Chains A and B, each alone.
Chain A
Amino acid sequence: EVQLVESGGGLVQPGGSLRLSCAASGFTFSSYWMSWVRQAPGKGLEWVANIKQDGSEKYYVDSVKGRFTISRDNAKNSLYLQMNSLRAEDTAVYYCARAITMVRGAWFDYWGQGTLVTVSS
């Protein structure tokens, strides 16, 4: 059974940092692109970042470029999101998601339960 379990969320002050983790199990982690998708309270979904199987390619939404870094450790079946210079507008539930790629782009077939990040003083 595919499982994705996020951790690391919490309350942080504006300008602060946080590192999210996602532990994957039930599939060959190193064979899949992985992504982070977030959802602000009461709002819709926003793709944040994704990373190739070997970590050689990474893509970000413009609003987090230069502040967030996605990474992975295939030996530990883990995905990470390092978030620096956090802003109030980064407040959201952050989901780890497995991305299925085909000719172009990717959709998300499995999602974690999410971890809440709150940026507030």
Chain B
Amino acid sequence: VIWMTQSPSLLSASTGDRVTISCRMSQGISSYLAWYQQKPGKAPELLIYAASTLQSGVPSRFSGSGSGTDFTLTISCLQSEDFATYYCQQYYSFPWTFGQGTKVEIK
């Protein structure tokens, strides 16, 4: 099983801020990583796959980087609609696993 450490678990930020969320793997996974956004009471939505490829329709303020064991999701200029919980997911090997989540809240 590949263990994932997502940090921070809670991030307080203001509109306009640049925020970064980290996802670290217990072993290398090349670029087999996705990022999702989830708002309360809603299903997750795909933001990024293959570590850095933006899903169609996702605003360009979202970006992903990294490979191997260390990955980052960056929101360049936080908007009000971005306050949500973010999850990383590795799909390098079974069982596919998700990070514990990072809640981005209003400061």
Contact = CB atoms under 8 A, between A and B. Distances in A.
A104 B32 CA distance: 8
Interface in A68-121: 95, 100, 102, 104-114
Interface stretch (B14-22, B73-81, B92-100): B92-100
| Interface residues on chain B, size class | 20 to 34
B91 A107 contact: yes
Nearest to B32: A105
Interface string B5-34: 000000000000000000000000000101
A11 interface: no
Contacts of A113: 42-43
A109 B32 contact: no
Contacts of A109: 46, 49, 55
Interface string B41-60: 01111100110000100000
Nearest to B48: A107
Among A46, A108, A111, residue most surrounded by chain B Cβ atoms (within 10 Å):
A108
B91 A106 contact: yes
Given A45-B87, A100-B49, A102-B50, A108 B98 contact: no
Interface in A37-52: 44-47
B96 A47 contact: yes
A107 to B, nearest CB: 4
A55 to B, nearest CB: 18
A59 interface: yes
A45 B50 CA distance: 19
A111 B43 contact: yes
Contact of A44 (B32, B49, B98): B98
Contacts of A108: 34, 36, 44, 46, 89
B91 to A, nearest CB: 3
A114 B43 contact: yes
6 contacts: A44-B98, A45-B44, A46-B98, A47-B96, A61-B95, A107-B34
